[in-house]
Structure 1
Amino acid sequence: MNTWTIMSYELRRLLRSRSMLLNMFLLPLVLIFLLGSSLSGVMGNGKDSTIEPVNVGIISQSGEGLASSAMVASFLKTPEISKIIVPLEVESRKTVESGLRSGKYGYAVVIPANFDSEVQSGGAAKLEYILGKDRTDNMVVGTVFDNFLSSINAKQAVALTLGPEALTAEATTSGDHALVTLGKLSEGGMTYTASQFYAVSMMLMFLLYSGLTVTTSLFNEKENHTLFRINSMPVTGSQLFIGKMLGVGIVSIFQCIAILLLSHWFFGVDWGNRPGLLLLFCLLMIIASMTLSIIISLFSKNLAGARSLITVITVIMTFISGGMAPLPESWVNSVGVYTLNHWAMQAILRMMLHSGLSQILPNLAVLSLICLVLFSAAVISYRRVGYHE
């Protein structure tokens, strides 16, 4: 009974605070809108990108153009490659460099004079690239020719190791296959937009800030000298903690649902096809946030110190998990794994891509384990430090 009384009082106190409601419900939506719209060019808009054909200047050091290399000429005539690359023979390096600066060519390739004979004699296949102005064109054409050279060098290695007969056997079993295939990275043929990415990031960051509400409430009881009165009543410390956590937790759940629904209605954010699992991840984030804040509150001397520490931890975890800006996968999957945001964010983004359960459940298990550890640490901290004036 005492627990429910404390919980209802906490709910009334929070719902009467206009600044609290603005910070918890309005501010996340404003940030999602601003970040999603302003950074849509960086993250993409969720639609397929079309690769336009690139004019590629071809220079032969022998002065014969494409005729100097039957292998390169045959490769460029394949249907898949002709959709991506438009080969244009150029007389000299000076001419092609001038064309690259003016935008006439998007890329240039220099063919050695003895390219075919070098390959046929067992040497390594090598070409020289001259990059253009457009980063996408450089990446596309460079990938195409890298695959071409890799295929030739792989066959050379097989022939030198196993003999020419191995190449014949490989061609018979594998059949024809394209060196370049256009496709999508996501399993379901989808990709998330900037609005989706920052909706996840901002929601998780503000769920972490929900623990700050518990901290403020606990220190207010001390500063207003109401904790002494509460302790004089038949109210145990566990009832006080549970009541306050339930009150803040219910408001945080309302906050989470509001962000999910309003971002979907107003900004078109698709949260995926697993709403139950999505809410479970949000609930675990709320539990982790509140237990972490309780631990910090028990060891802090004043509200200012506790608020500063929680704010710094929240910002750092949001940043290194890639929540403020997309970071390299090597960084996110190494340093980011030590944050709460990482496990929830990666799982929710996979839900948005309609990935299978096998890719989501490991994140759920890790986040559940983190919550268990933090909850145990909070209980142990309370028993050792206590909550008193």
Structure 2
Amino acid sequence: MAMVQLDHLRKVYENGYVGVADASFDVGHGELLVLVGPSGCGKSTLLRMIAGLESITSGTLSIGERVVNDLSPRDRDIAMVFQNYALYPHMTVAENLAFGLKLRGTAREEIERRVGEAATMLDLGRMLPLKPAQLSGGQRQRVALGRALVRKPAVFLLDEPLSNLDAKLRLSTRVEIAKLHRDLDATMIYVTHDQIEAMTLGHRIVVMRAGEIQQIDTPMRLYQQPINLFVAGFLGSPAMNFFRGTVVADDGLALDLGSAKLALGDAVGAVARVGSELVVGLRPEDLIPANGSTPAHSLKARLELAEPVGNEIFLNMRAGEHTVVARVPPQEIPDVGSELQLVFRPERMHLFDPQSERRLDLAL
């Protein structure tokens, strides 16, 4: 277990493309830190730089207080788990687990002990004599995890390890990874494009976009206080609703959406004035169909599609040119085409400057 420190890490390719612009953060002892973002954002490039599989253009990388910029991957005391498992098909599970230790000249008794420990922890005991072709995708991924585990590295690096699994296996293997981290108290850096994986696994999350770090924080603070429009829209499923318009006076303040209005009351008076442009974000769970009179903070929308999924219902609506999604508990579903009055609490609003796309904080 070790701390990982990135100090202005940068990756520029020969054609001038910037893969990672300027990455600076620490990964604490025993922390599980997640790098998340859309395809091409630089998260896997950054992980490969930490692993030593990509050269560092500039900046300093330290693992366990040792600068490792010029060290080979085998000398960095890291173990990496890939998306494609990378198991040797002609070897048994036991041989796959032991292979890396044999290359390092580890004593036979120590290899057997470590393989046994990993097999017990990952429930691989009955699979040790089998070959990868005889295993399911989830079992193969557990073997890949076990191969990293027997190394007892200072840092585990996981590059989208669940991407090849179906939804059920992805959930169960995600739980296994979380348990493994807890049992080992290991330092882990985990790359994913799946924001659900990021939110459920990470102690902290690094959100990346186009090679740049957008925000680093705990899952709930990212969800509740996104620093900009990108982070707000990336985290959350269904995604946050955004309303872009002009602030007008209408029995208090409102956001003119063209053929619809978002009633804001006086809540945004500290950051917006009549005539200014504003982006208001509201999570689907914060939009609630009204019962009775219209409060100061509301929106009229027309229902286009209802999606009941058992424990909740997604209401897909339209307010002017804006699509709106509300998440509500199980209830009688309104008729398609009916007009709904949606209400929300002012403290649930997320306000953004339309030019800079940065968050505007309210003192409510």
TM-score, normalised relative to structure 2: 0.25
Higher share in helix: 1
Higher share in strand: 2
Which is higher, the Rg of structure 1 or of structure 2? 1
TM-score, normalised relative to structure 1: 0.24
Identify which of structures 1 and 2 has the higher relative contact order when contacts are C-alpha pairs closer than 8 Å and 6+ apart.
1
